[in-house]
Each structure stands twice: as structure tokens, then as C-alpha cells.
Amino acid sequence: MDTKTNGALGRRRIGIPALVCMIIAASAPLTVVGGGVTSNYAVTGLLGIPLSFVVLGVVLLVFAVGYTAMSRHIHNAGAFYAYIAQGLGAWAGIGAAWVALIAYNALQIGIYGMFGFVLSSFAAASLGVAIPWWATALAGWVVVGLLGINKVDLSAKVLGIIVALEFLVVIVYDVVAVGAAPEGVTFGSLEPGSLFAAGVGAALVFSIAAFMGFESGAIYNEEVKDPKNTARRATLIAIVIISLFYAFSAWAMAVGEGDSQVVARSVEFGPDLMFVFLEGRVAGWFIVLGNLLFITSVLAALIAFHNVIARYIFAMGREGALPRALAATNRAQAPVAGSLVQSVFALVVLVIFAIAGAGHATGELFPVLTLFTWLTNTGAFGLVLLMLLTSFAVFGFFRRREHTENAWVASIAPLLAGGALLVLFGLIIANFGVLIGLEEAGVLAWLLPAVVIVPGIAASLWGRSLRARRPDVYAGIGAGAPVD
């Protein structure tokens, strides 16, 4: 592989539609509706899951006001890292970078557990071939790795096709569900009382996972066609689409099953509920297509998060927070070093879990109950922490610099978002044991969050020492590429 270390990514390659697709792909629409929404209904027992997406959508839109304003001033492939460095200090940015690396890797590698399980199950049910989950996960790992070292617009095209087909399947399900309406077309799931009751914290925490990955808009700001506007517009569009689409689909599920039955049916069938409902109501080939797209939906999320991690490693290497060799790009102007490092790390974790799962009591569900559940929730924990810190970093950035932004953009919206995200982060901590499937308090409930926070604290302390030892490197942390 021909590489170079000039710190240059491909310029002017991504437009607004492609970037919106890449952001939405990270949330895996079919996986969220088929698996996330049903799990939320089942675990919380609340009817108001559709409203949770609206509430979180509003919070993230307020957050995005200041966040996207920063994208006009700072172009850096490590967005949260760069914004926190510029707003709170380089030492804080270095700590945030390590939190981001661990959180995004946890999310991406955890998703391999779900991918391996669903592809293995599909092969057994449709082809009669027994393939271990780790083997199918490795097949996905190869595809993700190859796309990661190619031009970013190739990944964008692949993700665009997958996302479009996912939306088609979910829309068909929504229409059929609303048409069935055994208890009539009701709106109880959108009433505040159906959400704001005991369990609302867990419901919001489950639903926030559907938005993970929207940072991608700013991460690709060095590669978009219009660095001043593309990332900002794509991020806002993606948040609105994700929020309304998931809210509508969760409402359609409640209508299709009946408000009084949707929780019980979600407990009974879990992620299979959508396809159980569609049996007998649509053609058999459509259900097969839906199952295939469920698999590609998970694959799309793997690709999207892999690209994010590769760019974080690239950004940190370029600025000296990691070895500068990790800023290597190839002829396709892809961050090849970062891509290969992430692939190797993912392979190591997959091997560890494959060995640990041999003969485990949970059987075929092992990768879902451990690798997927543990790591994806750990990743969501870290990313909400980063959003919280970024809100206050935006406030600090504009307070210390001359700018033309109004008070709403520079001060009010970031502080409002910071307060809301602080509450959400507290809810995640309080409900973390529930999220990872613990029936009672255990070591994992504090160990997994510590895996995210402790390296971040250590990196921050190292960053403070860097100011005295290498002031030239310290001064460049978070600077990114020159603003056009």
C-alpha cells in the first residue's frame, strides 16, 4: 500500500446528500426500529417511546446550534476532540480524544457482535449452513477494512444505497402497521404522560443510542465540497430526519400492535417483532429482503464508525497527540494508517470474545448479550460525555474570541444543551446496569464506564505535561486543517 504522511485527506468529495447518508448510516435505521425500539418498549414498559425521539431530537438540535457554528471556524477530522481543545484547553482536548477513540471503538467493535449473530442466524435459517458468529463477523471485518482504505466517496455510495433500501423497508412496515391498527389509530404513545413516568431515564438512554454518529458531519469537514456550510446543513438535516423517522416508526409499531399490547409483544418477540408482524401481510420475498437489509444495516453502521475512528487517529497523529506516522494517507487520500490500526484492534477484540464464547452458557446469543450489549452501551456513555463537554467548549470558544455569532448561537444554546446533556449523562450512569443487562449491581456497571473515563483522565494529565515539555506540539492540538 502506497502511503504518504503529508496529513492531507481528499478535498471537495462529499456533498450534503452523501454526508446525510453517512450520518444516518451510523445510526442503522432498520436496526434501530427493528431492534432498538422493541428493546426499549420491552425493558422500560413505557408506551411513550415515540415521544422520547422527539424530546432527544429537540435537545440535539439545540446542541447542534453551537456545534455546527464551530464547524465554520475549525476544520478537523477529530471534531469533538478539536472543539474541546479549542474551547476548554489543549490538555482537555487530548483527554477527550482518548475518550472518543475508546468510545467509538467500543461502538464499532460491539456492533460486530450483532453482525456476526444475525448473519450466522440468516445462513442457518435460509441456507441450512451452520457458521459460527465469529466467522461471519470476520467476513464483515474484511469488507469494512477494504472500504476503509479506499476513497471516502466509495463508502458514501455504498452507504447511500443501503440507507435508501433500509428506509424503504421501514416505510412499508409503517404503512402496513398503521393500516392494521387493531385498536384504532391512537396517539397515546405521543402523550407526555406515557413517557414521563417511572422508567423515563432508561427510555431516554435507550433512545439516545439511535443518534450516535451524528458527529460525522463535522468529522468530514476537511473532505466536503463546501466546508463552510455542508457539515452544518447535513448535521441539522440528519438530526431532524432521524428524530422524526424513528418517532413515526415507533408510533406506527404501537398502532400496529395496539397500545395495550405493544409492550407485551415486544417482550415476547424482541427484535423479531417487526418481521413476525409482517408475516402473512406482505410477500415472503419482502420479509427475506428485510432480513437481508437488517444485516446490511448493521454492516453500514460498522463502515460509518470505522471511517470516524480512522479520521480521529489521523487527526491526532497529524497534531502529535499520537505518533505522526498515524497521519499517513494513501493514493486514495484515505487515512490508511488509522484505518489499519482500527482494523487490527477490532480483530484482537473479536479473537478474545470468540475464545471466551466457546462453550458459553448463553450459546448462540453470546455475542449479542456480551460483545454487542457491553461495548455499544459503553460507547454511548463516552459519546454523551463528549457532547456534554463540547457544549461548554463551544461557550468557552466564543467567549474568548471575537466573532460575529449572535448570543443564541454563542452562549444560550450551548449552555441549554449542556444542562440537558448533563441530566442525560446522569441518567446513563444511574441506569447503566440495566443497559448492559445486569439484574443486580455488579462489577461491570462501574468497570465499563471506567474503561472510558480513566484513560481520558490520564491523557489529560499527560497533555498538561506536554505544555511544558513540547509547547510547539501543545499549541497545535485541535488546530486541524486551515480554514478556507
Q: Which whole number is the average pLDDT over 127-153? A: 88
Most confidently modeled range among 122-126, 337-341, 369-373: 337-341
pLDDT at 219 over 80: no
Task: Give the residue among 390, 445, 389, 23 at the shortest CA–CA distance from 240.
Answer: 23
Predicted confidence at residue 201, as pLDDT, reads 85
Query: In the predicted model, is pLDDT for residue 344 greater than 90?
Result: yes
pLDDT exceeds cutoff 50 at 135: yes
The whole-number average pLDDT for the span 151-155 is 65
Q: Report pLDDT for 390.
A: 93
Supply the pLDDT for residue 2: 47
Q: Which percentage of the chain shows pLDDT scores above 70?
A: 93
Which positions ≥6 away from 205 have C-beta within 8 Å?
A: 380, 424, 427, 428, 431, 435
| Chain mean pLDDT for the chain | 86
The pLDDT of residue 229 is above 80 = no
Gap between the Cα atoms of 304 and 271, Å rounded: 22
- Letter string b/e over residues 76-95, b meaning 16 or more CB atoms within 10 A of that residue's CB: bbbbbbbbbbbbbbbbbbbb
Band (pLDDT 50/70/90 cuts) for residue 76 is: low
Max intra-chain CA distance, the chain: 69
Q: What torsion, rounded to 10 degrees, do the Cα atoms 21, 23, 27, 30 define?
A: -10
pLDDT of residue 34: 84
Between residues 473 and 480, the one the model is more confident about:
473
**Residues linked to residue 224 through DSSP beta bridges, in sequence order:** 14
* The pLDDT of residue 147 is above 80: yes
Domains and CATH numbers, the chain: 3-466 (1.20.1740.10)
CA angle 38, 42, 47 (to 5 degrees): 85
Residue pair 378/69 in contact (Cβ under 8 Å)? The answer is no
The per-residue b/e assignment along 346-357, b for 16 or more CB within 10 angstroms, e otherwise, is bbebbeebbeeb
Sorting pLDDT into bands at 50, 70 and 90, what band is 9? Answer: low
Please indicate, yes or no, whether the overall pTM of this predicted structure exceeds 0.85.
Answer: yes
Residue 249 confidence (pLDDT) above 90: yes
Specify the residue for cell string 482500527: 342
For 411, which DSSP code? I
Check residue 361 and give its pLDDT: 83
Poorest-pLDDT segment among 40-49, 69-78, 392-401, 442-451: 69-78
Q: Could you read off the pLDDT of 80-92 as tens digits, one per residue?
A: 888 898 889 889 9
Summarised one tens digit per residue, pLDDT across range 256-315 is: 999 999 999 998 887 789 988 999 899 989 988 888 888 988 888 898 889 889 988 988
Ramachandran class of 332: left when φ > 0, alpha when ψ lies in -120 to 50, beta otherwise: alpha
